[in-house]
Amino acid sequence: MPFVELDTSLPAERLPPGLALTLCNATADILGKPAERVNVTVRSGLPMVLSGSAEPCAQLIVSSIGVVGTAEQNKQHSARFFDVLTAQLGLGPERIVIRFYPLEPWQIGKNRTVMTFL
């Protein structure tokens, strides 16, 4: 059950229509998970500073069980997420940062229990 959160200083009107769904489908493909399990949040128009600059930027946070736990996995995921983000947001890769967080099944609640028991 991946969770993807995109924070950007770009105003909402500069984001492509359907960006959340595009990110959902891209995440499913990149992480090898069903789109029905991917959760996406997009927050725009945020006051942000990246690398000491307030120029337009974005931060992507990717959390998931079992697929973001190693440097080798994240290196591959990073390249693919950067391809999607630079194309969708019109930002250079130097204005985007990605953080990966591995999750354990007991850290995600669903259907009145946690994923461990589903």
Active site residues: 2
Beta-bridge partner residues of 52: none
Residue 92 to residue 23: CA distance in whole angstroms: 18
Query: 113-114 and 109-110 as β-strands: parallel, antiparallel, unpaired?
Result: antiparallel
42, 20 in Cβ contact below 8 A? yes
Closest CA to 115 of 66, 75, 72, 68: 66
Whole-number Å distance between alpha carbons of 50 and 12: 19
Residue 61 contacts residue 5 (beta carbons within 8 Å): yes
